[in-house]
Amino acid sequence: MCLIVVGWRAHADYPLVVAANRDEFYARPTAEAAPWPEAPAVFGGIDREAGGTWLGITRSGRFAAVTNVREPGMAQGQCSRGMLTRDFLLSRQTASDYAQGLAGEHYSGFNLLLSDGESLVYCSNRDGAPRLLAPGVYGLSNHQLDSPWPKLLTARQRFAAALPALPADNALFTLLADDSIVADDELPQTGVSLEWERRLSAIFVKSENYGTRASTVAWQRRDGAVHLHEQRFGPHGRALQSSLISTAV
């Protein structure tokens, strides 16, 4: 993932709400969001190259999502970051216990959001000890949690404004589709070229070979119902198919 906005107990009827964009090379083989064949209570896409996932939620409301830390030139970790989310979704550990037990040195830089339904935890192998998050709205991209990148500030503001419209998710997908490029004097400096800083400054990233491949809205309602809606895209942001998974209690 490259942009995640989460509302944790920020809505009386929806304790967990997520809007996220996965940015990736279009050539990387991927399975669309669906119940997993080996674990039908887990919903999410699958990275066919390494076997993990960037975002998933379970029928019981267990949730995990990961972003990479942008650090060009760093050596690659031994393990795929997508396995961090996969292993948590398939486990029964609390979010805190799972985060505390991670061997972060085996992975390239990552940010991880975990919820067991009772708590939301942020952890990163580039940002100190895991943190239990208080109720609120949080934004995560390819740096630390709530880094003041322009696209994160915009996404958090629009996300909070869209929460009252739930269960309608149109406004959240509109937020995720914003391909506006940030002015040069507001760009973060993350070690990539100016051309790519510009391109990656958008909430929705487009190019020939790399960009936003999936926009996802997921939530758990107070009564336990779970919803995951994924829209997929090809090169230059061309719209492809979508998937919708909803459970009733």
What is residue 1's predicted lDDT score, i.e. its pLDDT?
64
Q: What is the pLDDT along the chain (249 residues), one digit of tens a residue?
A: 699 999 999 999 999 999 999 999 999 999 999 999 999 999 999 999 999 999 999 999 999 999 999 988 787 888 999 999 999 999 999 999 999 999 999 999 999 999 999 999 999 999 889 999 999 999 999 999 999 999 999 999 999 999 999 999 999 999 999 999 999 999 988 989 999 999 999 999 999 999 999 999 999 999 999 999 999 999 999 999 999 999 976
Work out how many domains the chain is built from and give that number. Answer: 1
What is the chain written as a DSSP string?
--EEEEEES-SSS-SEEEEEEEEEETTS-EEEEEEETTEEEEEEEEETTTS--SEEEETT--EEEEEE---TTPPPPSB-THHHHHHHHH----HHHHHHT--GGGBSSEEEEEE-SS-EEEEETTSSS-EEPPSEEEEESSSSTT---HHHHHHHHHHHHHGGGTT--HHHHHHHT--PPPPGGG----SS-HHHHHHHTSSS---SSEEEEEEEEEEE-TTS-EEEEEEEEEGGGEEEEEEEEE---
Q: What is the CATH number of the domain that holds 209?
A: 3.60.60.10
What domain range is 150 assigned to? 3-246
What is residue 71's predicted lDDT score, i.e. its pLDDT?
87
What is residue 22's predicted lDDT score, i.e. its pLDDT?
98
